[in-house]
Structure 1
C-alpha cells in the first residue's frame, strides 16, 4: 500500500510539474504577444481648448477635428470620423466580445486563475490595439468601484488607438438573484430585483419604467452604456430555457412592459444620460421546436404550427419600436415555414433587410446573437442553415442580410478580406459603421466616456435596494392556500428545505434545524431539467428539456411533503409539471427569483400577495407535448391558468 501511495504521489507530482511547465510556456507566449501588441499603442489624447471649451484631441493631430467637436451636428461628426478610418478600424468597430479585468480594475493582459473566463478571451491589448475592437462585456467585478475603475482604465487605453474611438461597455441582465450562463449574471453589489418574468407577474408599466431608470443610473455609474436586454420574446412554449427572461406569454402585456423598460433605460431619446437597449430576440425566440434552445443544434428550428408568427412580432412593433429601441438582436433559430431560404435569423435577408428594415422601418444597429460564425470554447457556432459555409462566407451572408455587429466573435480579418477581394463593398461596411457611430456619439462617449469614482455609491444604494425588494414582494404569486394556512402565526415553527440565504435564522427565529421540531415545512424547489442533448459546456449549464421531476426525486419530495403540513415555493425559471406535489402541499407560492427572506415575509404575513401568473402552469407532461410552440394559453386544463393569483383575507 505504501508503495502504491508513493507511486501515486510521484505521478501526481509529475502531472503538476507538467501543468506548471505548460502554464510557464504559455505565460511567456502571452507576454511576448502583449509586448508586440503594445507597440501599436500611441499617446493618450491631449486636451484642446477652443473658445473657452475643452475637447479631447482623439487623433492627436493638434487641431480640433469635426468628430472631436461636441458642438458639431451628429451626421457631420459621423462622416468626418468615417473619412479618417481605415478598413482595419471599421472592421474592429463591427465586433463585440468579452474582456477580462484584474481584481483591482486594472487591465488584464495575461490570463489569471482568479478569472477563469480570461483563458477564453483575448488580452486587452489584443482586443483594443490589434483587433481594434471597442465593444466589450464583463459580467464580473469585485465591487462597483473596481468596475468603474476598469471602465476608466479601458477608456484611457482606447485613447491610445490612432483615432481614440471610445469603448462601449455592454451588459447582459445583472439585477437578479440567479445567473444563467450566456444569458444573465447574478446581482452582487447592484440592487436586486425579480426576474423579467417576475416583472411580468407584477404587470405594472410604471414600476417597470422605474426599474429601467434605476438600472440606468447604476449602469451609468459603472460605465455600462449598452444593455443587451430586454427580451421581447413571448413564452409560448413552456419548455424553452429562456422563459424567465421574458415578460410571459401575453403579447400585449409584453409590448407594454417592453416599451416601459426601454423608456426607463434610454429616456425619451438617446443621449449622454441614456443606456442604449439592444432588444432581443427578433422576430421572437419563444416558439422553439419541442422547446429546445436555439443556442444548440437540437433547437435550431423555430416552429409555427399555429401559424402565429405575427403574434410574436407584437412586442417589437407595439413595444420596442414605439420606445425607439437603439438596437435589435435577432435569435439563432431558423423560422421554419416563414421564409423561402430557411437559415438562422441573422443570416436571413428576408427577416432582417426585408422585414425588419424595409417593412418595419428599423434603421438602428442590428447585432447578431453571440457565436454564430466561429466555434467557441463553450459551444460550436450556431450557424443554423449555413453550417456548410466557411467562416468568411458566413460573415458575408450576415452582412448581406443587413446586420451590423457580430457578437462574440474576433474574426475581423474576414471583413477586411471580403472588402479587399471585392466581395463586399466598403460602402456597404460604411452603412453599418454609420449606425454604430451614431449610437456612440449620441451616448456622449466621444466627449466623456469616464465615470466619477466618487459617484459609484449610487450603485446598490439603500433607496434602490428598497425599491428592488418592493418589486420582489409584488412579484410573488400565491397559487394555493388550503384551509387558509397562510399567513402563519408568529409562533409557528418552520423547517426549511432549499433556502440558504445568510442571516435567515437571525431574522426569523421560528426556523428550527430539526424537522421533527417543526410545525410546518417550507420547501423551495426549482424547475426540473433534462440532461443535455449535446456535449458542449454551455449546453450542460443551461436548464432545458423536461419539466417534471424524475421518479426518485419526486418520491423524495412527496415523502417530505406528506410528512407534515408543507408550503411549497416554486422558483419558476420555466413552468414546472408538479400535479402530485401541488396536491400534497397545503400552500404553493410562485417565486420569480426573489430573496429568501422576502418569501418568508410573505409566509408570515408581512405583506399581502398581489402577483398574477404571467404564464400557465401545465397539469401534465402530456398537456405540454400537445401545446403548439407558437400559441399562448393553449395548455389543456392547466394546473394554474394565466393570470391566477390569490391574496390573503385578513
Structure 2
C-alpha cells in the first residue's frame, strides 16, 4: 500500500493538475492524427494527456489493458489510470431501463441487476460506473426520467441504497467483481423547467432538502464512493460551481470526503450559464466549489497552474482533490494491480452468460405493469392465432437509452419470444407502420394479418432515441402513425392487446380506451421478447407497479401523487363550481396514479386497524391490513402505506409513501400485512429548516396504490 501523502509530495504542480482531468481514450492515442484532432480542438497537450488522471468509455479488456499498460510505462511516479464508464442498466447483458426496474418494487432485484452489471464491467477493466442516477422526477417530458426510479423520495432512496450495494458490494478493495459507484446528478437535475434537458432548476431550499436530496444522501450513507455534479443551476448558481451545495452541504454537513467529478463539459458550461467570463474563472469556481475532477474540458489543465502561481487559488485545494483521487485508486487496489479484474479470457465467460440472461429475463418480467385487461383478454392461450403487428414486432431497439455496450442483434425480439412460446405457426407478423409513419402497403398487410387472427398483439411505442439524455418531448403521445394503426384495426372487432415500449409515462389517449389489454414493458433489455412472452401467456403473473404517474394530458405536467392541497381544493362536492383549483377541460388527477398496476388475479383489502389512536414520540404505532387473493391465480401484490400530516407548520403533501410490502398470495389466501410508524418517519423540514415533527392529527392509508385506500386517524403526542 503506497504512502499517498508521500506520493503527493513527490508530484509536480503540473502532475497534480493533470490528475484532475478526465478524457476519452482517443486523447491518449499515439496516432499522429490526434495532434491535429481532439488534442488541438480542446487545447490538450500530449503532456497533459499522458498524465491524465482518468479515462472514460474505454471498451473491452483488450483496450483497457493496453491503455493502462501504455499509461503506466509513461508514468513517472507509477500512478495508474482510473477507468470509468456509463453502466446505467447493464453492460453487455442489458436489463430494463431504471424506471422499469423501479416498477418492480423489489430491492433485491435492483441490487442483483447492479451486481451483474458490475461483474461484467469489472472483467472488461472498468473501475467506476456513473450510476446510480437518483434524480427525483415529476415531468415525463424530460427524457432522462428513464434513468430514475420515479417521483417519490422514500422509494428513490431505497433504490439508491440497493444499486450502490449491487455495484460496490461489501468489500470493494477485495472483491474484483465489484466497481465503485458514482451517484448523480447532484443536485435536482430532474426538476428542469419545462422538462427540457439542461434547463434551469429553481426551488426553495426546503423543497430541495425534503424532496430532491434524500436519495443522494441515502446513496452516500450506503458508502457510494463518488458524486457527479449536475448541469443545472441550484439557487441561481450552476451546481458545478456552487460552493454552498458542494462545500457546505455535501462536504461539511454530510461529511462526504469522496471524489467529486463534473459531468461532461460542465465546468466550461459555467461560461454560457453566465457565471464565468472565461475558462480561468470557470476553473477557479469549480475547484473552490470542491470539484475534484473535470470531465472532458481542459480548464483545470490550462489555467490552474497560473491561478496558483498568481495566488488566486490556494494549492491546498488542488492537493485535497488529488489526494481524494489517489485514495480511490488505492481503495480499488490499482497501485498493486493496475489492471484489476480485466481479463480477455474471463470476459468471454462472463459477458452475456446464461446466468445473466436468466436474471435479465426475470427482472424484465417483474418490471412490466399491466395497465388494462378487459374481459380477461390476458393471459393469452396456446392454440390462439396471434397477429403480431407494429414497429416493435421484429425490432431489436428494445434495449433503451444508455445501453451503450449492449447489442441489438443479441436482444430477444417480441416475435422470437412469442413464436418460441406459442409456435411459429401460431404467430402471423406484420409491421403495420414504422415508429412515426406508415405506408398504405404496411396498413393493408396488418389488416390482412389481423383478419386471420384470434387476438391482435400490437407492439407499439417510442424508439430509444425519443427518450434518454437530450430526449425531451413536448408531445408525449404515441406518434400519430401508431394511433392511426389502432383505428384501422379496431373495426375488425378482434381483441387487441398493446405491448408498449417507452422510456417515460405517456399520454395514453388513443391507446388505453381503444384496446382491450395494455402491458407496459418500458425498454425491457436483452431478454425483453422472452420476458414479454412469459407475461402474455401467464407463465409470470404481472406484478409491476408504476413509480411515476401517467398524465391525463401533457397540460397537467408536472403531475405527481404527493402534491400539496390548495386553499380552494377541488372536491366531489364542489366539482361544478368555477372558483376552485381545477382545469376546465380535464381532470386534476392523472390518468394512472403512482403505485398503480393490475394482476391476472384480484386482491381485496379489509380489516385495516391501528394499534393505538395516540402515538407517543418514543413509541411505535402499528398499521395492519388484511389482503386476500380473491381470484383463481397465484399473484403478488404491492401493499403500500401512505401518511398525511393534516396540519403542519408548513403545507404538507396530501399523501407520502412511508412503507410497502410485496407479498405472494395463493388463490383464496389472506395475509395480514403490518407496518410500523414512528415519530421519526413523521418529520419534515420546517420553515427554519429544522427536521422535526408536529404534534397533532395524521391520516394513514393502506392500499394498492396512491389513489385507493380509506384513511384512518391517529394523533402524535409530544
Same fold (TM over 0.5): yes
2:473 corresponding residue in structure 1: 544
Q: What TM-score comes out, normalization by structure 2 length?
A: 0.68
2:388 corresponding residue in structure 1: 495
Equivalent of residue 587 in structure 1, options 502, 508, 517: 517
Equivalent of residue 435 in structure 1, options 307, 324, 327: 324
Mapped to 2, the partners of 1:107 and 1:402 lie a distance apart of: 30
Q: Secondary structure at the match of 1:486?
A: coil
Cα–Cα, structure 1 residues 622 and 175, in superposed 2: closer, same or farther, change >3 Å? closer
The size of the alignment, in residue pairs, is 526
Cα–Cα, structure 1 residues 629 and 361, in superposed 2: closer, same or farther, change >3 Å? farther
Cα–Cα, structure 1 residues 646 and 629, in superposed 2: closer, same or farther, change >3 Å? closer
1:259 to 2:161 alignment = yes
Cα–Cα, structure 1 residues 120 and 630, in superposed 2: closer, same or farther, change >3 Å? farther
1:636 to 2:555 alignment = no
Mapped to 2, the partners of 1:633 and 1:259 lie a distance apart of: 31
Equivalent of residue 31 in structure 2, options 82, 89, 109: 109
1:613 corresponding residue in structure 2: 546
Q: Secondary structure at the match of 1:495?
A: strand
Do the aligned residues in 2 keep the contact of 1:168 with 1:225 (CA within 8 Å)?
yes
Equivalent of residue 353 in structure 1, options 247, 255, 277: 247
Q: What TM-score comes out, normalization by structure 1 length?
A: 0.74
Q: Secondary structure at the match of 2:513?
A: helix
Cα–Cα, structure 1 residues 263 and 286, in superposed 2: closer, same or farther, change >3 Å? same
Equivalent of residue 408 in structure 1, options 266, 286, 296: 296
Mapped to 2, the partners of 1:633 and 1:529 lie a distance apart of: 36
Q: Note the C-alpha offset of 1:615.
A: 1.0
2:108 corresponding residue in structure 1: 206
Structural RMSD (CA): 3.3
Q: Note the C-alpha offset of 1:129.
A: 4.4
Equivalent of residue 464 in structure 1, options 329, 332, 356: 356
Cα–Cα, structure 1 residues 100 and 471, in superposed 2: closer, same or farther, change >3 Å? farther
1:598 to 2:531 alignment = yes
- CA offsets per residue over residues 196-217 of structure 1, 9 Å max, x none? 1111111212222222222222
Q: Note the C-alpha offset of 1:404.
A: 0.9
Cα–Cα, structure 1 residues 308 and 93, in superposed 2: closer, same or farther, change >3 Å? closer
2:222 corresponding residue in structure 1: 323
2:626 corresponding residue in structure 1: none
Cα–Cα, structure 1 residues 629 and 359, in superposed 2: closer, same or farther, change >3 Å? farther
Cα–Cα, structure 1 residues 120 and 476, in superposed 2: closer, same or farther, change >3 Å? farther
Which structure 2 residues correspond to residues 166-565 of structure 1 after superposition, within 5 A?
Answer: 166-173=80-87, 175=89, 190-273=92-175, 274-294=178-198, 299-303=199-203, 307=207, 309-317=209-217, 319-335=218-234, 339=235, 342-374=236-268, 381=269, 383=271, 385-386=273-274, 388-411=276-299, 412-450=301-339, 451-456=342-347, 457-491=349-383, 492-499=385-392, 500-501=395-396, 504-505=415-416, 507=420, 508-509=423-424, 510-513=426-429, 514-515=445-446, 516-518=448-450, 519=453, 520-527=455-462, 542-549=471-478, 554-560=483-489, 563=492, 564-565=494-495
Query: Of Structure 1 and Structure 2, which has the larger fraction of its residues in helix?
Result: 1
Q: Note the C-alpha offset of 1:581.
A: 1.6
Mapped to 2, the partners of 1:322 and 1:632 lie a distance apart of: 29
- CA offsets per residue over residues 244-292 of structure 1, 9 Å max, x none? 1011111111111111111121123541434111101122322111111
- CA offsets per residue over residues 218-261 of structure 1, 9 Å max, x none? 12111100110001111222222210101111111111111111
Cα–Cα, structure 1 residues 78 and 560, in superposed 2: closer, same or farther, change >3 Å? farther
Q: Secondary structure at the match of 1:614?
A: coil
Do the aligned residues in 1 keep the contact of 2:386 with 2:457 (CA within 8 Å)?
no
Q: Which runs of 5+ in 2 are unaligned?
A: 397-411, 430-444, 567-586, 602-632, 634-718
Equivalent of residue 496 in structure 2, options 566, 572, 576: 566
Cα–Cα, structure 1 residues 475 and 529, in superposed 2: closer, same or farther, change >3 Å? closer
Do the aligned residues in 2 keep the contact of 1:269 with 1:324 (CA within 8 Å)?
no
Cα–Cα, structure 1 residues 485 and 628, in superposed 2: closer, same or farther, change >3 Å? closer
Cα–Cα, structure 1 residues 108 and 203, in superposed 2: closer, same or farther, change >3 Å? farther
2:14 corresponding residue in structure 1: 88
Q: Secondary structure at the match of 1:582?
A: coil
Q: Secondary structure at the match of 1:396?
A: helix
Do the aligned residues in 2 keep the contact of 1:527 with 1:572 (CA within 8 Å)?
yes
1:162 to 2:76 alignment = yes
Mapped to 1, the partners of 2:334 and 2:135 lie a distance apart of: 30
Q: Note the C-alpha offset of 1:553.
A: 5.8
Do the aligned residues in 2 keep the contact of 1:175 with 1:192 (CA within 8 Å)?
yes
1:182 corresponding residue in structure 2: none
Do the aligned residues in 1 keep the contact of 2:460 with 2:482 (CA within 8 Å)?
no
Mapped to 2, the partners of 1:127 and 1:521 lie a distance apart of: 60
Mapped to 2, the partners of 1:149 and 1:128 lie a distance apart of: 23
Q: Note the C-alpha offset of 1:133.
A: 0.9
Mapped to 1, the partners of 2:256 and 2:477 lie a distance apart of: 41
Do the aligned residues in 2 keep the contact of 1:235 with 1:632 (CA within 8 Å)?
no
Do the aligned residues in 2 keep the contact of 1:372 with 1:383 (CA within 8 Å)?
no
Cα–Cα, structure 1 residues 130 and 399, in superposed 2: closer, same or farther, change >3 Å? closer
- CA offsets per residue over residues 491-533 of structure 1, 9 Å max, x none? 222222122246735525132144323323322333599999x
Q: Note the C-alpha offset of 1:465.
A: 1.6
Mapped to 2, the partners of 1:304 and 1:591 lie a distance apart of: 36
Query: Of Structure 1 and Structure 2, which has the larger fraction of its residues in strand?
Result: 2
Mapped to 2, the partners of 1:368 and 1:425 lie a distance apart of: 20
Q: Secondary structure at the match of 1:584?
A: coil
Cα–Cα, structure 1 residues 127 and 275, in superposed 2: closer, same or farther, change >3 Å? farther
Mapped to 2, the partners of 1:562 and 1:573 lie a distance apart of: 30
1:28 corresponding residue in structure 2: none
Mapped to 1, the partners of 2:79 and 2:93 lie a distance apart of: 31
Q: Secondary structure at the match of 2:549?
A: coil
1:148 corresponding residue in structure 2: 61
Do the aligned residues in 1 keep the contact of 2:361 with 2:530 (CA within 8 Å)?
no
Do the aligned residues in 2 keep the contact of 1:171 with 1:227 (CA within 8 Å)?
yes
Q: Secondary structure at the match of 2:506?
A: coil
- CA offsets per residue over residues 537-570 of structure 1, 9 Å max, x none? x98x634332124656644544345554322222
Cα–Cα, structure 1 residues 94 and 633, in superposed 2: closer, same or farther, change >3 Å? farther
Q: Note the C-alpha offset of 1:86.
A: 0.9
Q: Secondary structure at the match of 2:189?
A: coil
Do the aligned residues in 2 keep the contact of 1:306 with 1:631 (CA within 8 Å)?
no
- CA offsets per residue over residues 335-366 of structure 1, 9 Å max, x none? 2xxx4xx2111111111111111111111111
Q: Secondary structure at the match of 1:569?
A: strand
Mapped to 2, the partners of 1:127 and 1:592 lie a distance apart of: 44
Do the aligned residues in 2 keep the contact of 1:93 with 1:433 (CA within 8 Å)?
yes
Higher relative CO (CA 8 A, sep ≥ 6), structure 1 or 2?
1
